[in-house]
Amino acid sequence: MRLRGPSVERIEVTTRDIDSALSVVREVAWPTPTVPFSGGDEPVSLKLENLQRLGAFKIRGVWNRISHLTDSDRMRGISTISSGNHGLAVAWAARRLGLPCTVRVPEGAVGRKVEAIASQGADVSPISRLDLIDAHENETWRSWPSAFIHPFAHPATIAGQGTIGLEIVEELPEVRTVLVPVGGGGLVAGIGTAVKGRVPRAQVFGVQAEGAAPLPVALQTRQAHRIDRPQTIADGIGIGIILPSMAEVLGRVLDGALVVTDAEIRTAMRRLALEAKIVAEPAGAAAFAAWIRYRDSLRPPVVAVVSGGNVDPNLLAGAVGG
């Protein structure tokens, strides 16, 4: 479904923006390793953001975004919408800075992630799928009393996530293909901008789960797209929406979209756990799943971004035992 909403504000993020974000991000986030997959002789490396503070990449973009708030913004407090990792990062940052924080959690979010958000002192309240769509498409969050920390569609957030791309290129300057999981698109927009700014010949592909994959249509049409009823075990990339502003950005930095099934994600989780001793949540395993499926068509060296490791133990046990 194509989306209609308020006029689209063009999002511009440059390599200079990402370079500037690096020192800010370093205040709270640490560099994560890019390591060869240790299970057999497969020629793929893994960018381990599951080892990041709070177990996922999100703190990079959140901290950089909050650094751009004015004093009056901070006095109002901050808020966001999140199924888990972004909300946790916002709540953690708010607690560290002494800011009031509200996180609106979509219905059906993973219970352990919601509990983690609440444990940081945030006020947690549910939001329906319809209200979530309304908030994103019509930007109803602009009427909220607090400063909204967008999960993906803000230049400062994207620049913060882009610091991952700087680290990839620093550790593997010969990289030719980078695979990145995509929910709303902020992570891949940042990484794509950084990687292509340093290694113009490199290709960057966004990865989505089959039941929540608006990206292929968005890239083909260069327009926003939504999946009405997204269904996937990969809740971290399950939003099912590419907004107009993000469709334009992703059209500039991506070389294509790769789609994987939930079964393939489970297989990737199992292989990461058993062969490489890496714990990945479903969204975090999606890029590795894409490498397994599409490896023969990808130019090496390949890096798959493991975006997070905050997985429900029962889901992990089922994937590993399956």
Asked if residue 122 is part of any domain, the answer here is: yes
Local structure of 303: helix, strand or coil: strand
* pLDDT of the residue at 8: 53
**What is the C-alpha to C-alpha distance for residues 92 and 119, in angstroms, rounded to an integer?**
9
Q: Which domain holds residue 281?
A: 15-57+155-321
Helix axes 186-198, 155-171, angle to 10 degrees: 50
Asked if residue 277 is part of any domain, the answer here is: yes
25 and 80 inside one domain:
no
Asked if residue 6 is part of any domain, the answer here is: no
Q: Does 17 score more than 60 pLDDT?
A: yes
Q: Does 297 score more than 90 pLDDT?
A: yes
Local structure of 317: helix, strand or coil: helix
* pLDDT of the residue at 151: 96
The gap from C-alpha 77 to its chain's centroid, in whole angstroms, comes to: 23
pTM to 2 decimals? Answer: 0.95
* pLDDT of the residue at 108: 75
* pLDDT of the residue at 106: 86
Structure tokens at 319: 């994937």
* Local confidence band at 41 (pLDDT 50, 70, 90 cut-offs): low
28 and 86 inside one domain:
no
142 and 248 inside one domain:
no
Give the Å distances, CA to CA, from 90 to 56, 82, 99, 116.
Answer: 12, 9, 10, 12
Q: Does 91 score more than 90 pLDDT?
A: yes
Give the Å distances, CA to CA, from 36 to 204, 278, 299, 308.
Answer: 18, 12, 16, 17
What is the 8-class DSSP label of residue 56?
B
Mean pLDDT confidence for 299-322: 94
List Cβ neighbours of 289 (8 Å cut-off, separation of 6 or more).
207, 260, 264, 265, 267, 268
Asked if residue 190 is part of any domain, the answer here is: yes
- Which of 131, 148, 165 marks a domain boundary? 148
47 and 184 inside one domain:
yes
Mean pLDDT confidence for 289-316: 96
Domain count for the chain, please give it: 2
**What is the C-alpha to C-alpha distance for residues 91 and 78, in angstroms, rounded to an integer?**
9
* Local confidence band at 3 (pLDDT 50, 70, 90 cut-offs): very low
Q: Does 186 score more than 50 pLDDT?
A: yes
143 and 242 inside one domain:
no
Helix count (H) and strand count (E) of the chain? Answer: 13, 12
Environment class of 100 (CB within 10 Å of its CB; exposed 0-12, middle 13-18, buried 19+): middle
Q: Does 256 score more than 70 pLDDT?
A: yes
Q: Does 2 score more than 50 pLDDT?
A: no
In this structure, are residues 78 and 90 in contact, taking their beta carbons and an 8 Å threshold? Answer: yes
* Residue of 5, 33, 31 lying closest to 172 (CA atoms): 33
127 and 115 inside one domain:
yes
66 and 22 inside one domain:
no
What share of the chain in percent tops pLDDT 70? 96
Q: Does 232 score more than 90 pLDDT?
A: yes
Mean pLDDT confidence for 165-172: 98
Residue with tokens 């999946």: 227
118 and 255 inside one domain:
no
Residue with tokens 């809740």: 235
- Which of 122, 148, 174 marks a domain boundary? 148
Asked if residue 1 is part of any domain, the answer here is: no
- Which of 93, 116, 148 marks a domain boundary? 148
Mean pLDDT confidence for 276-300: 98
Asked if residue 143 is part of any domain, the answer here is: yes
Asked if residue 164 is part of any domain, the answer here is: yes
Q: Does 142 score more than 50 pLDDT?
A: yes
**What is the C-alpha to C-alpha distance for residues 270 and 210, in angstroms, rounded to an integer?**
19
Mean pLDDT confidence for 208-229: 97
139 and 235 inside one domain:
no
265 and 163 inside one domain:
yes
Mean pLDDT confidence for 280-286: 98
* pLDDT of the residue at 240: 96
Q: Which CATH number is 235's domain given?
A: 3.40.50.1100
**What is the C-alpha to C-alpha distance for residues 212 and 115, in angstroms, rounded to an integer?**
25
What is the 8-class DSSP label of residue 6?
S
249 and 113 inside one domain:
no
Asked if residue 7 is part of any domain, the answer here is: no
